Structure 1
Amino acid sequence: MIRIHALEGRAFVWNADDAQRIREEHRVVGTLVGALARKPRQNVRLGLPLQLLPEEARLLAEMGVATLLKNPTSHPLTEEAGQDPSFLEAVAAYQKDQEESYQEQVRLAGEQRKALMGTLAERIAQGRAKKRQRKGGEAVRGKKWMLQEGDDTEKSHLEPASKPADLESSFVFPREAMMVQLPTERTQRGQEEEVDWHLPSKEWPYGGQPEHEMRFQVFQNLWERGYYITSGSKFGGDFLVYPGDPMRFHAHFIALCVPRDTPLSLCDIISVGRLGTSVKKTVLLCSVDQDGTVAYTSLQWSGMQ
């Protein structure tokens, strides 16, 4: 079962496998709205969670392949709750994980420093030797540098007096520099409550709303015809309608949901018609009859011949 988390009228999918299944098996696209873990300061490429339109979430729920969930309201931690054994165990487990992560980072940082010093040791020794030669040699020898074993006249390489073990023992990795893992999904499933999408609530305010019912019937009808549908807000419509996956096709239609008996001014008709022509798309005026039949009226700008 696909898990959709409802939060103040928005629907999110946090599991990567569920997001892939939604697109590949059910032709529901959604929109990635999360920052990438390694590149949080850019918005060119986004990641989880996947935000679904209310119509997309309801379609999956009606098909029986998804369920809407919410996290129960959290309350301030009381002194009695802070002494609860399960809470203390959770705190101890978290501190243990943090300590293990710190020790692992200390080990990796030490290995990286050791490898770096190994690559630079010969270059440092050569630089020191050249410096001593420029100063006459004997005046600067003896305190921190020692000649390598062997004939002094045959060897010109020098090594530092500090041993690798001394470097490792003097290395300190501060806890302030420790990297903290930020998971994109809950490591342990917490308490969750199922949301009844038939009834309006704080998490799902669309239940029974006439505008949502009209939009959903239009969305469902287009989806049943085999189209891919996304939000059309960037083109001034309700939906963008694609003949195939939006990664491979441009949208062919801009769907605008209009109540059946609502009059449209001539200026509104001209403006949406010209908008569709300017972006090379056909505008669909979509309305729903009392019996649930969806009617479409297409608008295309036609110049004078």
Structure 2
Amino acid sequence: MADLPKNGESSTSIPNEGSIPLYLVNGVATVWDAQVAATLHCIHNVSGLRAGTLPGVSQQNGFLGLPMTLMREETAYLVQQGIAHLIYLPTFPSIPTPDEISRHTAKRIERVKRLEKEARQAEESKKEISAQLFEKGGEKARLKREARAKAKAEKEAKIRLEQGEEPFLVNNQTVVDENHKDRPQEQEQEQESSSSPLPPTSDPRSSQNSDADTGPSPGYFLPIPSHPPILSSPSSSNQQIITSIPHAAFNFPSTRRDKALVGVFTALQKRGYRMGLGPRFGGEYLVYPGDYLRYHAHFTSQVLVDDEPIKPAELVAWGRLGTGTKKAGLLCCWDERNYLKDEDNDQVGDEVKEDGDGVEFYSLEWANFG
């Protein structure tokens, strides 16, 4: 196989150079890396289905849409062509027992209570520090006011002495008449307070409430990994590598019908088509002539195995269905006798296709309808 671009996966268990790891979860191959998904989409014409978006708000986002799930046919095609290999993951997480659920719930509640307690303690500590700062700032402001009042009184007493008036003495200190000094002292204090920075003198409870309202609340975060939780060691029992199918962990293709599906998918891939899910249009696949982000589907396919009989009513239904959905019906006839064996390359039968896929295609349209 030709060298492929680096797929960005951190796994060290790659059988062949450039082989892409596909994580097998509950029998479904998944891709968890955006670069791997882009490589499959742009180089190998395999688009998959984004399973990470909400069902009601589906979107083909390269990052938010991960993980990407693959059809069985897409998985088999990639493995058989040597493009990718499977990494089997055991069912994770396992179904918990009632006792495990109760213990986990108790631990979760205990953790939440602990976090809430720590948050309350931090908030109380913050309030206490704020109250202490408020009291300290208020004491400083009071001392400054007393010092200004004393200096003002001494100044006015000196003026009275110069004018020949007798100053008032209280506790061996010179003071002036309160009525005489009231308004000038208040005006001067207002001017000095406006010019000199002072600590906040608002109610500490109101400031504490505002801090509690605007402060960040404790958050709870759940990290979401970009790949399944597996060990990086290739010899780990949790990391079983699958390079050939069918396998016990991925039993596909196992029947003649399964082989027909893979054969048809491979034949269409070789012809440059892309396949998508087709059950909603009444077929196996929706067949696109190129990137489905650029083109509408041209065919809705039906897979027939060997000499499987076709009822006339089915032909009518397929033709009308394809024309009604503005698509052509594509009958894909797979003949096992003309199918090349994977291991021995034995050719069974006389008629073998040049490409060796053993598939014949017939286009079906319903004339003068729709």
TM-score under structure 1 length normalisation: 0.64
Deviation at 1:72, TM superposition (A): 3.9
> Using the alignment, how far apart are the partners of 1:159 and 1:211 within structure 2?
84
Given residue 284 of structure 1, which amino acid in structure 2 is its aligned partner? L
Q: Within the alignment, does 1:275 sit opposite 2:315 as a pair?
A: no
1:28-49 alpha-carbon deviations (Å, 9 max, x no partner)? 11110113xxxx6853326111
Residue equivalent to 1:262 = 308
Residue equivalent to 2:155 = none
Note the 1:216-295 alignment, pairs <5 A.
216-289=262-335, 290-292=337-339, 293-295=358-360
C-alpha RMSD of matched pairs (Å) = 3.6
Residue equivalent to 2:221 = 179
Select 2:85's aligned residue among 50, 67, 70. Answer: 67
> Using the alignment, how far apart are the partners of 2:92 and 2:281 within structure 1?
39
Q: Verify the 8 A CA contact 1:200 1:208 in the aligned structure 2.
A: no
Number of residue pairs the alignment of both structures matches: 228
Given residue 43 of structure 1, which amino acid in structure 2 is its aligned partner? V
1:193-213 alpha-carbon deviations (Å, 9 max, x no partner)? 113542342x31213321111
Given residue 238 of structure 1, which amino acid in structure 2 is its aligned partner? E
Note the 1:26-65 alignment, pairs <5 A.
26-35=44-53, 42-45=56-59, 47-65=65-83
Residue equivalent to 1:301 = 366
> Using the alignment, how far apart are the partners of 1:21 and 1:75 within structure 2?
29
Deviation at 1:2, TM superposition (A): 1.6
Deviation at 1:63, TM superposition (A): 2.3
TM-score under structure 2 length normalisation: 0.54
Change (3 A) 1:75 1:22: closer
Structure 2 runs not aligned, ≥5 long = 1-18, 95-110, 124-188, 233-237, 340-357
Deviation at 1:227, TM superposition (A): 1.0
Q: Verify the 8 A CA contact 1:197 1:207 in the aligned structure 2.
A: no
Q: Verify the 8 A CA contact 1:237 1:255 in the aligned structure 2.
A: yes
1:67-126 alpha-carbon deviations (Å, 9 max, x no partner)? 1111246799xxxxxxxxxxxxxxxxxxxxx9xxx9xxx8xxx9xxxxxxxxxxxxxxxx
> Using the alignment, how far apart are the partners of 1:60 and 1:236 within structure 2?
25
Given residue 308 of structure 2, which amino acid in structure 1 is its aligned partner? T
Structure 1 runs not aligned, ≥5 long = 77-97, 111-148
Partner SS, residue 43 of structure 2? helix
> Which stretch shows the higher mean deviation, 177-186 or 166-175?
166-175
> Which stretch shows the higher mean deviation, 207-216 or 3-12?
3-12
Change (3 A) 1:15 1:164: farther
Note the 1:50-199 alignment, pairs <5 A.
50-72=68-90, 150-151=190-191, 160-162=202-204, 177-186=219-228, 189=231, 191-195=238-242, 197-199=244-246
Partner SS, residue 333 of structure 2? strand
